[in-house]
Amino acid sequence: MIGDAQREQQDVLLRELHDYVNRGWFDDLTHLAKKMVKDHPTLVQQYTNLCLAFLREVAGLQYVDARNEQAKLLAVKLVETMKQELATTYLPLI
């Protein structure tokens, strides 16, 4: 369980991510991803865990509007395709 300080830190990070993604072009996101994969190996593991958690959450959305319909469909396909891997793969925090 996370504490109030961690929750506040997540809120600040999420607001910054909102701002960045909302004004960025796809190439900017690709550039960010390229920088992220060059980060420390432990951080790359955690980024991967975050992406997987996000995909699982999107796949499980009960309601989506037209803007998110394709994102959900893709997330469902990815999660279903990766279900076996996700059940047996553990990315250790080293």
Render pLDDT for 30-86 as a digit per residue (tens, 0 to 9): 888 999 999 999 999 989 989 988 999 999 999 999 989 999 999 999 999 888 777
Do 31 and 44 sit in the same domain of this protein?
A: no
pLDDT tier, 20 (very low <50, low <70, confident <90, very high otherwise): confident
**pTM of the model as a whole:** 0.81
Do 46 and 84 sit in the same domain of this protein?
A: yes
pLDDT tier, 89 (very low <50, low <70, confident <90, very high otherwise): low
Do 62 and 86 sit in the same domain of this protein?
A: yes
Phi and psi (nearest 5°) for 24? -90, 155
* Two tokens, residue 21: 């993604």
Q: How far apart are CA 54 and CA 34, in angstroms?
A: 19
Q: Which domain holds residue 47?
A: 39-94
Do 48 and 34 sit in the same domain of this protein?
A: no
* Two tokens, residue 61: 């959305």
Do 55 and 90 sit in the same domain of this protein?
A: yes
What's the number of domains the chain is made of?
Answer: 2
Do 67 and 21 sit in the same domain of this protein?
A: no
